[in-house]
């Protein structure tokens, strides 16, 4: 029997005022109990209920928290208004407790309560309208006037919001940890404390990434104090970082770590608030760079006497120096990003602290706002990471057939915000523009570089024009442009600035060449644009005259196929439409495998897992069905992700492959070029991005 509340029942009762006194303040459920026929569940009219049952029901109905009463051997269930709201279901009056409130521990809860125990259960999962929810339970026995246990009263505390918030917080912490550990530079956080040598005379390493040991040569830094690690050098390091702690002024410097003999380039900033007494340090080993510079100077001094012998060595040394200079430029960019990351991390940690405080105070109204702030800061941190990878040219190109005009509306608005109000930005979009095969994100990055250069050439203001067009290049023009004859899509950025003289124009694409003052440019911008164009099988050309402005044009080959359609992301609560498709996930990180397989299982895919390349290859060599291979690029055990994919394609030529990677390993992925049916997704990624990509790849199969 199920008793359901109706409008007619509320307020309608055959009970006298005296008989129904215990139900008088019971809200909607009190009225339903008073007006219901209980004979079908083995109970008399409420007016004839035992005193113990009346007292227990009165307490339950008066409780502001969700409460259930399981009465008698049949565990007939009664509940209050709050319980009805918590379950989100029609009234469960009269049902056995196991049906009214189905939880895994229900039988144990009743059994122990009937034995006279008071039972506390925490983090109990239950279902609310098909969604998983959680609560804490307190169950107490209900005794009659003779002391005999006749029922069990259960009070519930709905903790679903807290559980979901905790999960979100842990996910953000994992993303931060992955970012922290994937940095190429050494990074640590130190905390000052008072030692035998005076106030703030020593510090302890409370955080350090994997690159710390690689650059400093000191293992297991976390938990070690400075004077334990380098007792003979401690005073100098305390003086450096102590000044940062006191003044809040960041510093950059080079220092030899005598204990390991390494030359380090370091930057440091204080972590706010100052009361934390914490300082962050970002550094890299520049021993090889300094040695290369010294050797190069020595080589130049003795060049006349050793020309024949020194030419080969000089070429190797200069290559090492160029790479070291490039890494130093990346380090300078990273040093600037460190300040941004400090702000973002403060936003993330502060948001979760405020969420905790508001939940402790019971003020849940503000939680959504703080949750949104923390998630927004995390997304901006991920965007900073992608920009850093793009700067260091570690991004793999993921070309798609697109019509560039479709990117321009949002991009032009971005340029306008970037260059400021003193510069007008015009867009001239060609009608009927052809598709081209290009990585849209990297194209926007290259064009933004050109627009920033144009802005810098017009300090008093001016005009930037972005123009697209279709170009036919015959043999003569193509030869002059350094291109193959054929059809191209051009994107040109022109300005009304000061222009460039002929001597400078010949060097603008050289790495590290810049006309900007020291500290205001790395000289990598145009060289990266050139590298992107060539990697996209196109070219870049620059035209300029002093006083007449500058135009830079990207030429990208026409794509003769159709434009790739953007597929909508498959939501995690989508119907199970993929039960006949199987995905193999190869990743040495258990957390990543869990998240990927859980997300795909939600969509109905069958999932197979492997923790390294060898295990994945064994699955592929079997007769098991596999429709899509998802593999990390960097795998342990001798087989990287690209080798697994190549072996898989040898066994199953039509197999779709999705690479997922913390950074784009160009060498492993054939310097950014991958075969048809293979795609790359860079970590960190949103689950919606992953499922949408997989849905499209398998739908196109």
Determine the Cα–Cα distance for residues 442 and 476; give it in Å rounded to an integer: 30
Q: How far apart are CA 24 and CA 31, in angstroms?
A: 8
Helix (H, G, I), strand (E, B) or coil at 45: coil
Written as six digits, the tokens of 241 are 């970082």
CA distance 694 to 582: 11
Q: Which residues pair with 76 in a beta bridge?
A: 71, 96
Residue 690 makes CB contacts below 8 A (sequence gap 6+) with: 596, 599, 660, 681
Q: Give the domain ranges of the chain.
A: 21-158, 168-352, 400-557, 582-699
**pLDDT of amino acid 16:** 59
28-31 long-range contacts, CB within 8 A, separation 24+: 28/81, 28/84, 29/5, 29/61, 29/78, 29/79, 29/80, 29/81, 29/84, 29/91, 29/93, 30/61, 31/5
Q: Is 453 helix (H, G, I), strand (E, B) or coil?
A: helix
Report residue 652: phi and psi, to 5°. -135, 85
What is the pLDDT, as a whole number, of residue 576? Answer: 45
Q: How far apart are the first and last CA of the chain?
A: 52
Asked whether the beta carbons of 218 and 699 are under 8 A apart, the reply is no
What is the reported pLDDT for 18?
A: 60
Q: What is the pLDDT of residue 467?
A: 94
Residue 355's Cβ-side half-sphere holds a number of Cα atoms within 13 Å equal to 23
**Which stretch of DSSP H or E encloses residue 129?**
none
Q: Look up the CATH superfamily of 168-352.
A: PAS domain (3.30.450.20)
Residues in the chain: 701
- What string of DSSP letters covers 373-441? HHHHHHHHHHHHHHHHHHHTT-PPP--EEE-THHHHHHHHHHHHHHH-TTEEEEEEPPTTPPPEEE-HH
- Give Cβ neighbours of residue 653 (< 8 Å, ≥ 6 apart): none
Whether 168-352 shares its CATH topology with 582-699 is answered no
Q: What three-state secondary structure class fits 270? A: strand
Q: Which residues are bridge partners to 257 per DSSP? A: 262
Strand, helix or coil at 654? coil
Number of Cβ within a 10 Å radius of residue 2: 13
Residue 378 to residue 380: CA distance in whole angstroms? 5
Question: What DSSP assignment string belongs to 469-489?
Answer: EEEEE-HHHHHHHTS-SEEEE
Return d(Cα 92, Cα 89) in angstroms, integer: 8
Residues of the chain with pLDDT under 50: 1-2, 4-13, 322, 325-326, 329, 332-333, 335-336, 390-395, 518-523, 567-576, 664-668, 671
What order do you get walking across the sheet with 486-495 strand by strand?
A: 423-428, 462-473, 486-495, 549-557, 539-545
Give the CA distances from residue 21 to residues 11, 503, 691, in Å, rounded to whole numbers and listed in that order: 13, 100, 58
Burial 493-529 (b: 16+ CB within 10 A, else e): bbbbbbbbeeeebeebbebeebeeeeeebbbbbbbbb
User: 310 is written with which tokens?
Assistant: 């020194």
pLDDT score recorded for residue 696? 85
At 659, phi and psi to the nearest 5?
-85, 135
Residue 552 in contact with residue 600, Cβ under 8 Å?
A: no
- DSSP letters along 57-74, please? HHHHHH-SS-EEEEETTT
* CATH number 3.40.50.2300 given to 582-699: yes
Q: Tell me 622's DSSP state.
A: S
Pairwise CA distance, residues 523 & 504, whole Å: 13
* Lookup result for tokens 């869990």: 594
What pLDDT score does 566 carry? 54
Which tokens hold the place of 128? 């609310």
Fold of domain 400-557? Heat Shock Protein 90 (3.30.565)
pLDDT for the residue 340: 58
Sign of the dihedral through C-alpha 642, 648, 654, 655: negative
Q: What CA–CA distance (Å, rounded) separates 541 from 530?
A: 9
Question: Is the CB of residue 442 less than 8 Å from the CB of residue 395?
Answer: yes
Distance CA 409, CA 36 (A): 65
Contact 82, 158 (CB under 8 A): no
For residue 588, give Cα distances in angstroms to 253, 607, 620, 688.
Answer: 38, 16, 17, 22
The answer, yes or no, to whether the previous bond of 136 is cis (omega within 30 of 0) is no
Q: How crowded is residue 356: how many other Cβ atoms within 10 Å of its Cβ?
A: 16
**E runs forming strands in 211-250:** none
Domain boundaries 21-158, CATH class: alpha beta
What is the torsion angle, in degrees rounded to the nearest 10, for the CA atoms of residue 588, residue 593, residue 595 and residue 597? Answer: 170
Which long-range contacts (C-beta less than 8 Å, at least 24 apart) are formed by 147-150? 149/113, 149/114, 149/115, 149/116, 150/50, 150/52, 150/53, 150/71, 150/72
């Amino acid at each position: 029997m199920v008793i359901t509340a109706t409008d007619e029942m509320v307020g309608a009762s055959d009970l006298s005022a005296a008989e129904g006194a215990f139900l008088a303040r019971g809200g909607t459920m009190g009225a339903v109990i008073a007006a219901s026929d209980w004979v079908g569940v083995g109970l008399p009219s409420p007016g004839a209920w035992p005193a113990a049952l009346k007292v227990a029901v009165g307490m339950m109905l008066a409780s502001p928290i969700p409460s259930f009463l399981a009465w008698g051997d049949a565990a007939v269930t009664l509940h209050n208004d709050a319980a009805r709201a918590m379950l989100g279901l029609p009234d469960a009056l009269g049902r056995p407790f196991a049906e009214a409130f189905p939880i895994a521990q229900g039988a144990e809860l009743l059994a122990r309560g009937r034995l006279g125990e008071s039972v506390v259960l925490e983090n109990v999962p239950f279902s609310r309208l098909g969604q998983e929810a959680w609560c804490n339970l307190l169950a107490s026995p209900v005794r009659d006037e003779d002391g005999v246990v006749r029922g069990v009263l259960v009070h519930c505390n709905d903790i679903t919001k807290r559980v979901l918030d905790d999960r979100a917080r842990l996910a953000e912490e994992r993303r931060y940890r992955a970012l922290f550990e994937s940095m190429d530079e050494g990074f640590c956080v130190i905390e000052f404390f008072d030692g035998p040598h005076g106030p703030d005379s020593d510090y302890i390493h409370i955080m350090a990434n994997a690159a710390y040991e690689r650059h400093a040569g000191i293992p297991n830094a976390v938990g070690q104090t400075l004077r334990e690690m380098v007792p003979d050098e401690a005073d100098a390091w305390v003086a450096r970082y102590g000044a940062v702690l006191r003044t809040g002024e960041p510093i950059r410097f080079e220092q030899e770590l005598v204990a390991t003999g390494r030359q380090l380039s370091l930057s440091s900033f204080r972590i706010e608030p100052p009361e934390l007494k914490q300082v962050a340090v970002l550094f890299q080993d520049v021993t090889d760079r300094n040695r290369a510079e010294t050797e190069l100077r020595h080589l130049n001094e003795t060049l006349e006497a050793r020309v024949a012998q020194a030419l080969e060595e000089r070429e190797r040394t200069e290559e090492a120096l160029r790479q070291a200079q490039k890494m130093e430029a990346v380090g300078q960019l990273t040093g600037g990003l460190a300040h941004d990351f400090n702000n973002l991390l403060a936003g993330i940690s502060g948001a979760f602290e405020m969420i905790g405080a508001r939940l402790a105070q019971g003020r849940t109204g503000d939680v959504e706002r703080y949750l949104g702030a923390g998630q927004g800061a995390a997304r901006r941190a991920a965007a900073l990471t992608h920009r850093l990878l793009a700067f260091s040219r570690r991004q793999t190109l993921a070309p798609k057939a697109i019509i560039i005009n479709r990117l321009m509306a949002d991009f032009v608005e971005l340029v306008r915000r970037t260059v400021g109000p003193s510069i007008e930005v015009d867009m001239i979009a060609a009608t009927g523009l052809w598709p081209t095969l290009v990585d849209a994100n990297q194209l926007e990055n290259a064009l933004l570089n050109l627009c920033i250069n144009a802005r810098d050439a017009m300090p008093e203001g001016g005009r930037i024009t972005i123009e697209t067009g279709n170009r036919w290049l015959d043999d003569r023009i193509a030869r002059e442009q350094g291109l193959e004859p054929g059809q191209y899509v051009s994107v040109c950025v022109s300005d009304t600035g000061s222009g460039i003289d002929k001597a400078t124009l010949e060097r603008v694409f050289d790495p590290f060449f810049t006309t900007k003052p020291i500290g205001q440019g790395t000289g990598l911008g145009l060289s990266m644009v050139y590298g992107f164009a060539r990697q996209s099988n196109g070219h870049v050309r620059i035209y300029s005259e002093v006083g007449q402005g500058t135009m830079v044009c990207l030429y990208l080959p026409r794509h003769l196929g159709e434009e790739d359609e953007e597929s909508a992301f498959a939501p995690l609560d989508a119907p199970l439409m993929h039960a006949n498709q199987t995905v193999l996930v190869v990743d040495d990180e258990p957390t990543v495998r869990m998240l990927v397989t859980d997300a795909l299982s939600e969509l109905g895919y069958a999932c197979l897992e492997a923790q390294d390349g060898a295990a994945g290859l064994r699955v592929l060599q079997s007769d098991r069905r596999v429709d899509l291979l998802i593999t990390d690029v960097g795998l342990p055990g001798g087989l990287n992700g690209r080798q697994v994919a190549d072996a898989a394609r040898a066994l199953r030529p039509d197999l779709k492959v999705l690479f997922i990677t913390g950074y784009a390993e160009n060498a492993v992925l054939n310097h950014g070029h991958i075969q048809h049916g293979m795609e790359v997704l860079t970590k960190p990624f949103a689950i919606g991005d992953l499922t949408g990509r997989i849905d499209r790849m398998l739908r196109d199969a």
